[in-house]
Amino acid sequence: MMSRIPLHPHWILCASLTLSASAEVDFNRDIRPILSDNCFACHGPDKKKRKSSLRLDTFKGATEGGELADPIVPGKPDESEVVVRIFHQDPDEIMPPPDSHKKLKPQQKELLKQWIAEGANYAEPWTYLAPKRHPVPKVSFKAWPTNWVDHFILARLEGEKLAPSPDADLITLVRRLHFDLLGLPPTPKEVAAFQKAATQNLQAAIENEVDHLLASPHYGERMAIYWLDLVRYADTVGYHGDQDQSISPYRDYVIDAFNDNLPFDQFTREQLAGDLLPSPTIDQKIATGYNRLLQTSHEGGVQAREYLAIYFADRVRNVSNVWMGATVGCAQCHDHKYDPYTTKDFYSLGAFFADIDEAQHFKVGSNSLPTKRPPELEVHTKRERKRIAALEKLLAAGKFASPEDREKVQAALAALQKAKRKTMITVATEPRTVRILPRGNWLDDSGLIVEPATPEFLSKDHPSPASARPTRLDLANWFTDPVEGTGGLTARVMANRFWYLFFGTGIAKRLDDFGGQGEAPVHPELLDNLAVEFYQSDWDVKHIMRLLVTSRAYRQSSLESPALRERDPYNRLLARQSRYRLPAETIRDNALSISGLLRSDYGGASAKPYQPPGYYRHLNFPTRKYSHHADERQWRRGVYVHWQRQFLHPMLRAFDAPTREECTAERPRSNTPIAAMTLLNDPTFVEAARVFGERIIRVGGKSNKERLEFAYRLALSRIPDERERSIMGKLFTLAEKEFKSHPTAAKELISAGQAPVPSDLDPAEHATWTTIARAILNLSETYTRN
């Protein structure tokens, strides 16, 4: 048959998964998505758009009806107008109406009918019900689970008559752990050590490896990338001239926070309201850079009121996406169409930030690099301060073997002391008046004045802070207090994202919208338990991560049989692990690491890799000249690369890194010719290949066989098989012949980039191994997490 593509295939999958799970209809799982997608736009929370005064998002509304007599009669589908209308043939009568371009599928109609027959039970949206701990389900395959997470996965699989996949082989497993937790490949030595330990006791070996990885400073670098995507961290202002802004210490703060395992509630408080904490530390002030990450402009002719409205909305979108997994931003001009957020909620939530003076830069913002975005602070980061203290101690002790040693330490200290960086911070001022802007119109002054408040419908169970004028700190506490606030909901949003980091898809698919239009979780009880576990562990991030990556579910092979692919193409049931292309930064770090070029420096100002000339030619105010770093900063990790919002480095862009103009909770994983050309021809990768080539020749052994094995071990943690040797052999012969007869070409290739060009190697041989190295760096396997 010819493949026709269903427009919303996830619905089909979702339906088939849920239907087989239980014969009884569950409102949140089965009915709400249908009503929300097809009916709520006209019969939902937004009273202005409501037709026939009928709302179907509440039991009361649906049973009392508006202008209709009996829209839904519980237990009596045949007497329910809703059922009559959805099955109607007349275009004037049928619901949803044709001009809505919505159409119910026969299966959906039957479900609605069944639900009404079963009593039309409504349930609070799962999103807003505080998570509670559920009993761990029993399973038949008792030997499989390694912790309680597995019980939930396995119980569901057993219910579906599916078996989990066998454990992944040890090489895949150790690579998976390293990529997931550090964003770096394991060294051949690390692979061997793991293999040895695992043959004795696999689970103990995994636990040791995980502890070791969680303690590595590279762990924070890897996790920071995800957080920086959420909060839209970037090195430039985003709008108009896209000038540099001073903010990199905030990025280092985030890395530190993950490495030091700062409890997530404290992490939240420091970012939203570090300045309001009693005697805030420097790091807490740096953390308040969060409130400054939005895009800003000082374009000549910006109208202050318009931009204040733009900034206001930007904040609400981000805060609600990040901490609430909600799209409160949609309520800017009208009540939310699908979720119970009102326009008033939108403005009340934004009012928490009314004490941030964001108008200063309209006047003082300069076309300099960096531009001025007061208030700013000159700081040393935590690590830098520690290092300074250590050096000072060393000097004070005065025990040096030679005066040169002493001078070295003094020089290092002086350099560090000079290396203070500016960073944007938050300083509370007299809050400005916040009015509801009718239909989002910033020219309209007629709206009601609102005070900071948390969304009204959530405040029934989680009262808005009672202080005279609630502050950002009150909001942060509300987000993280599971008893007085919505801490449980926040924990669930985050736990779902941690899951995504280690399994490739969230338990609830949407990572930034748990609202009615999001998708109900596939394993709701598991997600609840993870959320409860998270806050009950005092928001211990590493604890949750350890729990997930030491589970049996995590350990599974990612290979899939055609039958399983057919049955569960998006791997929502976790009868296997997932496999996917590495993220942009990891692709870079991986190549640099394999070649040996990667620098392990921690923190600091952003790094500038090679970039096509003229890439910034469309920037102005001022015109931009990009100079890549001509020293070792060239080979820093991707997390440190200069993030130019308007013109993100083409390599990062080609591999789906976001511009960070808005919150990104899940990056796409595309596969384009542009990406292929980047990996083939970007000087960063060509240089990595030629330095890798040099490494192969110097350290890889004498024979070509040994050298190829060495290269494969470095890049793929395994040795090549016969066929691979043969393909590589042919490429080798061809390249060798060409470079021997074209010595100039050989010299050109081995001179790519700025790394020193070895003078003691035969250029033709070096260029030939560079070609092999390029092939290896371009293999799917090299940049896939399996």
Task: Determine which residue in the list 64, 661, 762, 765 makes contact with other proteins, applying CB under 8 A.
Answer: 661
For residues 476 and 486, give the distance between their C-alpha atoms in angstroms, rounded to a whole number.
Answer: 10
Stretch that binds other proteins, among 256-264, 269-277, 380-388, 721-729 (CB under 8 A): 721-729
For residues 772 and 714, give the distance between their C-alpha atoms in angstroms, rounded to a whole number.
Answer: 13
Enumerate the H helices of 467-559 as residue ranges: 472-480, 487-503, 524-536, 541-549, 552-555
For the window 327-366, what string marks contact with other proteins as x by the rule CB under 8 A?
x--x------xx----------------------------
- Please give the residues from 405 up to 464 whose contact with other proteins meets the rule CB under 8 A: 443
* 774 and 680 Cβ atoms separated by less than 8 Å: yes
Stretch that binds other proteins, among 107-115, 252-260, 406-414, 642-650 (CB under 8 A): 642-650
- Please give the residues from 98 up to 127 whose contact with other proteins meets the rule CB under 8 A: 99, 101
Q: Please, which residue, 320 or 480, has the CB nearer to other proteins?
A: 320
Q: Please, which residue, 238 or 603, has the CB nearer to other proteins?
A: 238
Q: Please, which residue, 192 or 745, has the CB nearer to other proteins?
A: 745
Position 91 contacts other proteins (CB under 8 A)? no
Smallest gap from residue 272 Cβ to other proteins (A): 22
Cα 775 to chain center, whole Å? 30
Task: Determine which residue in the list 91, 106, 398, 562 makes contact with other proteins, applying CB under 8 A.
Answer: 562
Position 566 contacts other proteins (CB under 8 A)? yes
Task: Determine which residue in the list 536, 676, 698, 699 makes contact with other proteins, applying CB under 8 A.
Answer: 676
* 766 and 693 Cβ atoms separated by less than 8 Å: yes
Q: What is the dihedral of CA 73, 78, 81, 85, to 10 degrees?
A: 140
Smallest gap from residue 656 Cβ to other proteins (A): 6
Q: Which residues fall within 8 angstroms of residue 90, CB to CB, at 6 or more apart?
A: none
Position 401 contacts other proteins (CB under 8 A)? no
Position 512 contacts other proteins (CB under 8 A)? yes
DSSP 8-state class, residue 48: G
- 440 CB-contact burial (10 Å; exposed 0-12 / middle 13-18 / buried 19+): middle
- 667 CB-contact burial (10 Å; exposed 0-12 / middle 13-18 / buried 19+): middle
Number of Cβ within a 10 Å radius of residue 644: 25
- 180: which 2 tokens? 């997931």
Task: Determine which residue in the list 135, 403, 668, 756 makes contact with other proteins, applying CB under 8 A.
Answer: 668
Q: Please, which residue, 291 or 678, has the CB nearer to other proteins?
A: 678
- Please give the residues from 685 up to 704 whose contact with other proteins meets the rule CB under 8 A: 686
Q: Please, which residue, 719 or 775, has the CB nearer to other proteins?
A: 775
Q: Please, which residue, 338 or 347, has the CB nearer to other proteins?
A: 338
Task: Determine which residue in the list 43, 373, 642, 774 makes contact with other proteins, applying CB under 8 A.
Answer: 774
Stretch that binds other proteins, among 156-164, 212-220, 258-266, 574-582 (CB under 8 A): 574-582
Give strand pairing partners of 581: 784
Half-sphere exposure of 359 (CA within 13 A, CB side): 12
For residues 656 and 629, give the distance between their C-alpha atoms in angstroms, rounded to a whole number.
Answer: 23
Position 8 contacts other proteins (CB under 8 A)? yes
Stretch that binds other proteins, among 189-197, 529-537, 542-550, 775-783 (CB under 8 A): 775-783
Q: Please, which residue, 20 or 620, has the CB nearer to other proteins?
A: 620
Q: What's the Cα-to-Cα distance from 422 to each of 244, 380, 621, rounded to whole Å?
A: 12, 9, 21
Task: Determine which residue in the list 408, 618, 625, 698 makes contact with other proteins, applying CB under 8 A.
Answer: 618
Q: Please, which residue, 291 or 786, has the CB nearer to other proteins?
A: 786
Number of Cβ within a 10 Å radius of residue 646: 19
Do the bridges between strand 421-424 and strand 434-435 make them parallel or antiparallel, or are there none, so unpaired? Answer: unpaired
For the window 168-207, what string marks contact with other proteins as x by the rule CB under 8 A?
----------------------------------------
Number of Cβ within a 10 Å radius of residue 70: 15
Q: Please, which residue, 14 or 276, has the CB nearer to other proteins?
A: 14
Task: Determine which residue in the list 228, 648, 714, 755 makes contact with other proteins, applying CB under 8 A.
Answer: 648
Enumerate the H helices of 260-370 as residue ranges: 264-273, 282-287, 304-319, 343-351, 360-364
Task: Determine which residue in the list 349, 450, 750, 755 makes contact with other proteins, applying CB under 8 A.
Answer: 750
- Please give the residues from 217 up to 246 whose contact with other proteins meets the rule CB under 8 A: 238-242
Task: Determine which residue in the list 310, 394, 605, 761 makes contact with other proteins, applying CB under 8 A.
Answer: 310
Q: What is the dihedral of CA 669, 675, 679, 685, to 10 degrees?
A: -90
Residue-level length of the chain: 786
For residues 85 and 543, give the distance between their C-alpha atoms in angstroms, rounded to a whole number.
Answer: 52
Q: Please, which residue, 84 or 310, has the CB nearer to other proteins?
A: 310
Number of Cβ within a 10 Å radius of residue 302: 17
Stretch that binds other proteins, among 64-72, 421-429, 678-686, 701-709 (CB under 8 A): 678-686
Task: Determine which residue in the list 25, 54, 214, 767 makes contact with other proteins, applying CB under 8 A.
Answer: 767
Position 308 contacts other proteins (CB under 8 A)? no
Position 162 contacts other proteins (CB under 8 A)? no
For residues 307 and 43, give the distance between their C-alpha atoms in angstroms, rounded to a whole number.
Answer: 33
Task: Determine which residue in the list 366, 747, 754, 765 makes contact with other proteins, applying CB under 8 A.
Answer: 747
Do the bridges between strand 449-450 and strand 580-581 make them parallel or antiparallel, or are there none, so unpaired? Answer: unpaired
